[in-house]
Amino acid sequence: MKENKPSRVRIAQIGVGYWGPNLLRNFVSNEDCDVVRVVDLSKERRAFVRGLYPSIKVSGKVEDIINDATIQAVVIASPVGSHFELAMKCLKAGKSIMVEKPMATSAVECAEIGALAERQALVAMVGHTFLYNSSVLYVKELIDKGVLGDIRYIYSQRLNLGRIRSDVDALWNLAPHDVSIIQYWLGEPEPMAVQRYGNAYVQEGIDDVVFMNIKYPNGVMANIHVSWLDPHKTRKMAVVGSEKMVVYDDVADNKIAIYDKGIDRMSVLGENMDFDNSSSFTFNHRSGDVVLPKIEANEPLAVEVGHFIDCIKNGARCLTDAAHAERVVRILELGSGKS
C-alpha cells in the first residue's frame, strides 16, 4: 500500500544572513509547507526572525534541527564553506535539502551529496534561482525550438559596485548564476576548455573582477564577466545564433529582445556560369525586426521554493539537482585551476 504523504512539509532553515531572509519569506508564504525552526549563530539574526515570525522556534544549534525527527527538509543558507558538512548531516538524518549556490566548494563534494541523497531517496537541490526565471525559461524555449538557429556564442555580464565578500571571490559569488543558465540553455554539455582572467584590487587573494571563457563542442563559446567593482548594475546575457540573436536584460523594463540580425554567406554567379566555385561568394548583412515579447513577471524564488516542495511531496524531477550543481561547480573549478 502506498504511504500517504503529509499535506504540508515541515521545513527548517540554517542561516538568515544576506539571502536567508528572502528564502525564509518565501517558505513561510508557501501553503504547502510549515517553517518550524530557524538556526543562526548570530543573536541579532535570531532576534530578527523572532520579531518577524514569532511562531517559529529559533536557536543557535544545528543539532536542534538534526535531532528533530519531525523536520522533513532543511534550507541551507549558511556561508559557502559550511555547505557540504551541513548538507551531509541533514541527508544522513533523513532530511531533504535545498542548498544556496554553490552547493559545495568542489565537484567531488557535490557528487557525494548527490550520491547520498539518492541512497536515502531524498531531494538534494541547489539554489540556482535564475533557472526559475520566466525570461530564462523563454530563451530556453527559443533555443530548443531552433528559432535562433545554430548557437554560435553567448556572453554574460553580472556587474555592480559591491557587495564585496571575503569568503569567496567574485567568480564563485556571481558566476554560478551565469554558468548555470548557460549550461541549462545549451543542454548541460561538457566544456572542452575553460580559461579565467581575474585580479584582486581590494582584498589580497580575492579577485574582484573576473573574465571567464568557456569553449564547448560544435564551436560554441561563452564569455562570463563578473565584478563587484563596476559603476553600473548590469545583469545582461546575449545569445548569438545563425538565424537570430536574443538579449536577456534582467534590469531592463523589457527583459527579452529578439533581433532578426545576422550575416549570411551568399553564392554569386561565377565566370563559368556556376555557383559551385568556393571562391565565388559574398556576405549579406541582414537586419530585420526587433521583437520585444511580453513575458509574465514572477518571483523566481517563489517558483524555486514551490518546485522544491513539489519534488518532496510529489516526486517531481528536480531541475537543479546535485548533478546540475556538480557540473556548474566543475566549471568554476576549471576556471580557478582546481581541476
pLDDT attached to residue 338? 61
In whole angstroms, what is the distance from residue 322 CA to residue 194 CA? 21
Which single residue is written with the C-alpha cell 555547505? 83
pLDDT at 270: 56
* Residue 63 reports pLDDT greater than 90: yes
Q: Find the range with the poorest average confidence among 191-205, 236-250, 283-297, 305-319.
A: 283-297
What is the rounded average pLDDT of the residues 61-72?
98
Q: How confident is the model at residue 329 (pLDDT cuts 50, 70, 90)?
A: very high
Residue position matching grid coordinates 532578426: 260
Is 175 in contact with 332 (CB distance < 8 Å)? yes
Q: What is the dihedral of CA 35, 39, 42, 46, to 10 degrees?
A: 30
Q: Is the pLDDT of residue 2 over 50?
A: no
Q: Which residue has the cell 543542454?
A: 187
Q: Span 96-108, mean pLDDT?
A: 97
pLDDT over threshold 90, residue 162: no
Q: At 78, is the secondary structure helix, strand, or coil?
A: coil
In this structure, of 99-108, 112-121, 246-255, 286-295, the range with the lowest mean pLDDT score is 286-295
| Contact of 308 with 100, CB cutoff 8 Å | no
DSSP code string of 52-102: H-TTSEEES-THHHHT-TT--EEEE-S-GGGHHHHHHHHHHTT-EEEEESS
- Segment 259-271 shows an average pLDDT of 70
Determine the Cα–Cα distance for residues 275 and 46; give it in Å rounded to an integer.
Answer: 75
The CA R_g of the chain, rounded to the nearest whole Å, is: 23
The residues spanned by each domain of the chain are: 9-130+301-335, 134-291
At 163 the pLDDT is 85
97: which DSSP letter? E
- 87, 99 contact by CB (below 8 A): yes
What is the reported pLDDT for 179?
Answer: 98
Q: What is the pLDDT of residue 286?
A: 74
In the predicted model, what is the mean pLDDT of residues 326-330? 97
**What dotted CATH number matches 9-130+301-335?**
3.40.50.720
CA distance 46 to 146: 50
Q: Give per-residue pLDDT as tens, 271-291.
A: 555 555 555 556 767 778 899
Work out the number of other CB atoms within 10 angstroms of the CB of residue 47. 12
Q: Crossing angle, helix 170-186 and helix 322-335, to 10 degrees?
A: 120
Q: Report residue 4's pLDDT band, with 50, 70 and 90 as the boundaries.
A: very low
33-39 and 151-161 strand pairing: unpaired
pLDDT above 90 (res 39): yes
Q: What is the dihedral of CA 81, 87, 93, 97, to 10 degrees?
A: 140
Decide if pLDDT at 37 tops 70. Answer: yes
Instruction: Give the model's pLDDT for residue 278.
Output: 54
**337 in Cβ contact with 111 (< 8 Å):** no
pLDDT at 3 over 70: no
Match domain 134-291 to its CATH number in 2.60.40.10, 3.40.50.2000, 3.40.50.170, 3.30.360.10: 3.30.360.10
| Confidence at residue 148, expressed as pLDDT on a 0 to 100 scale | 97
Query: Rounded to whole angstroms, how far apart are CA atoms 98 and 74?
Result: 6
Residue 265, pLDDT above cutoff 80:
no
Mean pLDDT of the chain, nearest integer: 92
Per-residue CA distances from 23 to 5, 28, 231, 304, 305 (Å) = 24, 9, 28, 10, 8
